[in-house]
């Protein structure tokens, strides 16, 4: 599959007043990831690592604030009981959730306009509870999810006691998004650099959603433009360790990816985008970023991205 990847260049800044977004990383809890779920060459072996679950606050100068993921739930509590075994197995640890962290940093959860979930479908346990957090502190936020989620929400907990998905809070506004959607303000772009499909969320080149399936169908990544011709690539769960994308010698494990061929194809696309000198990649569980002194909210990532780009050029 990988031999079919074509590549275009990343869109340049618009000379007619380019818009940028501010990006902030929130460390919204940790989980234990067994190596056998991360690396193909670790299948059948013991061992693993405690990794962060990052969520991201994005601030757009016109459209305001939105969240890209919501991390874990506080104390690992409030999930449908179908998650119970997984929560113990993955040693969920979350003393402060996204709403707590935002408040500590001076941002009121009520000021968040929208929340993007990177997943559009559920397929099996222990895959995605670590990013959906708690919607209740965000009463004004519109939830943006893949169009496939509509079917999923037909069977929710507690109506269906075995469901992995809680029903959404009463009155939750939901926007279903799909690639190929001609509705403004989401503009489809295909192809986009090494990826087959992307959406220019605000139509101004500041934030692109990338179709990045494999870990789950409908899994999304995002590319944010943070300063003149500088990007941060929020790669989510495309892979679960840096060694899978740089130097990229370790393959992702078939034990943790819904469609292993597609997942590896997506990692290949990721590696190519990361090959651009003006792109800095961060995975949702990239523990090395904590050691790299990546600044956490309330400090923003934009200036750090610029420094990382300079460092990358000198490598």
Q: Which residues bind Zn ion (CB under 5 A)?
A: 130, 237
Beta-sheet strands, E only, within the chain? 21-34, 48-60, 64-68, 112-116, 142-146, 173-177, 187-189, 198-200, 207-211, 220-227, 230-236, 279-283
User: Is the N-terminal amide bond of 200 cis, ω within 30° of 0?
Assistant: no
189: number of CA atoms within 13 Å, CB side? 23
Question: Distance between CA 158 and CA 162 in Å, rounded?
Answer: 8
Comparing CB distances to Zn ion, the nearer of 193 and 287 is 287
Comparing CB distances to Zn ion, the nearer of 30 and 206 is 30
Distance of closest approach, residue 127 Cβ to Zn ion, in angstroms: 7
Question: Distance between CA 57 and CA 22 in Å, rounded?
Answer: 8
**Which tokens sit at 187?**
């503009």
Comparing CB distances to Zn ion, the nearer of 30 and 163 is 30
Distance of closest approach, residue 48 Cβ to Zn ion, in angstroms: 14
Comparing CB distances to Zn ion, the nearer of 10 and 90 is 90
Distance of closest approach, residue 54 Cβ to Zn ion, in angstroms: 9
Comparing CB distances to Zn ion, the nearer of 211 and 237 is 237
Question: Any idea how long the chain is?
Answer: 315
First-to-last C-alpha distance (Å) of the chain = 30
SS (H, E, C) 19-43: CCEEEEEEEEEEEEEEHHHCEHHHC
Distance of closest approach, residue 228 Cβ to Zn ion, in angstroms: 32
Distance of closest approach, residue 283 Cβ to Zn ion, in angstroms: 9
Distance of closest approach, residue 285 Cβ to Zn ion, in angstroms: 6
Comparing CB distances to Zn ion, the nearer of 130 and 134 is 130
């Amino acid at each position: 599959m990988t031999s079919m990847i074509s590549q275009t260049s990343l869109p340049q800044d618009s000379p007619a007043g380019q818009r940028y977004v501010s990006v902030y990383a929130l460390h919204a809890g940790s989980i234990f990831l067994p190596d056998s779920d991360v690396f193909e060459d670790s299948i059948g072996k013991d061992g693993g690592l405690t990794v962060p679950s990052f969520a991201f606050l994005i601030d757009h100068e016109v459209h305001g604030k939105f969240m890209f993921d919501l991390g874990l739930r506080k104390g690992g509590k409030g999930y449908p009981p179908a998650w119970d075994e997984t929560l113990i197995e993955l040693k969920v640890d979350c003393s402060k959730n996204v709403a707590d962290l935002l408040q500590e940093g001076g941002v009121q959860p009520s000021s968040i306009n929208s929340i993007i979930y990177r997943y559009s479908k559920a397929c099996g346990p222990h895959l995605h509870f670590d990013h959906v957090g708690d919607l209740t502190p965000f009463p004004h936020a519109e939830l943006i999810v893949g169009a496939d989620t509509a079917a999923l929400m037909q069977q929710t907990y507690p109506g269906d006691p075995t469901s992995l998905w809680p029903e959404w809070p009463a009155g939750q506004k939901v926007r279903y998004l799909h690639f190929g959607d001609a509705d403004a303000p989401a503009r489809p772009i295909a192809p986009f650099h090494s990826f087959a499909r992307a959406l220019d969320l605000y139509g101004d080149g500041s934030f692109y959603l990338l179709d990045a399936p494999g870990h789950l169908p409908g899994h999304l990544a995002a590319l944010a433009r943070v300063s003149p011709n500088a990007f941060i690539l929020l790669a989510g769960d495309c892979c679960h360790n840096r060694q899978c994308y740089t130097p990229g010698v370790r393959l992702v494990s078939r034990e943790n990816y819904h469609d292993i061929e597609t997942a590896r194809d997506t990692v290949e696309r990721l590696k190519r985008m990361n090959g651009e000198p003006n792109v800095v990649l961060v995975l949702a569980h990239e523990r090395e970023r904590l050691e790299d002194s990546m600044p956490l909210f309330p400090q923003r990532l934009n200036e750090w991205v610029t420094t990382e780009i300079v460092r990358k050029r000198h490598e």
